[in-house]
């Protein structure tokens, strides 16, 4: 699949997306993410978790302040796919930013109901790391989704819990180290 591209203005509002953005959104049940629904809206309307927002805001400040791009890898899984993506965040003049996202690797897996976007959800919540897609499963720590489903007994419930996002300690450390460095080339959970 060709690279996904989108741009933000100085207020972090989405100003442009390419056709591949639309293809990816449709293929991942993200139909409400087409141009008319997102252009002119703040990125922060779509990134709700405070920790994740904080990391992105630091990345934005670094790129705008230095003009140097930031490169990192992150997971963006689908119910039946593990997906590793590469992101390059760069300045494109007058405080604008360009996001360039490339699919590096995809791996099929048995569909995980917890990740199905249209499942009816219980009132319970589980936290998923916004970067590596591991799930918080105390006291075991952060586990791959299949392991977390088993450890938390999520197959026992008629309805899967709601997903909320955060950042695991390992990814937070990598991101914090990368933000201060000359280049933030980080791999946050290979497949």
In whole angstroms, what is the distance from residue 18 CA to residue 126 CA? 32
Read off the pLDDT of each residue in 66-93 and give the average, rounded to a whole number: 91
Read off the pLDDT of each residue in 95-107 and give the average, rounded to a whole number: 95
Mean pLDDT of the chain: 85
Q: How many whole angstroms from its chain centre is CA 158?
A: 27
| Token couple for 153 | 């007994």
pLDDT digits (tens, 9 = 90+) for 153-164: 876 667 888 888
- Is a pLDDT exceeding 90 seen at residue 43? yes
Per-residue pLDDT band at 27 (split at 50, 70, 90): confident
- pLDDT for 157 equals 65
According to DSSP, residue 136 is labeled: E
According to DSSP, residue 161 is labeled: P
- pLDDT for 5 equals 94
In whole angstroms, what is the distance from residue 134 CA to residue 168 CA? 8
Is the torsion defined by CA of 25, 26, 28, 31 positive or negative? positive
- Is a pLDDT exceeding 60 seen at residue 81? yes
């Amino acid at each position: 699949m060709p690279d996904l591209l989108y741009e933000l203005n100085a207020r972090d509002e989405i100003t442009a997306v390419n056709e591949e953005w639309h293809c990816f959104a449709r293929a991942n049940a993200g139909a409400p993410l087409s141009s008319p629904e997102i252009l002119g809206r703040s990125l922060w309307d779509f990134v709700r978790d405070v920790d994740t927002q904080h990391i992105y805001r630091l990345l934005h400040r670094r790129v705008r302040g230095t003009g140097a791009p930031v490169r990192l890898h992150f997971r963006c899984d689908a119910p039946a796919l593990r997906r590793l993506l590469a992101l390059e965040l760069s300045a494109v003049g007058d405080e604008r930013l360009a996001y360039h996202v490339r699919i590096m690797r995809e791996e099929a897996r048995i569909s995980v109901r917890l990740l199905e976007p249209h499942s009816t959800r219980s009132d319970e919540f589980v936290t998923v790391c916004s970067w590596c897609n591991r799930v918080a499963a105390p006291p075991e720590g952060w586990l791959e989704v299949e392991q977390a489903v088993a450890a938390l007994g999520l197959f026992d419930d008629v309805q899967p819990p709601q997903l909320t996002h955060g950042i695991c300690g390992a990814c937070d450390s990598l991101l914090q180290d990368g933000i201060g460095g000359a280049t933030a080339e980080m791999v946050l959970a290979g497949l």
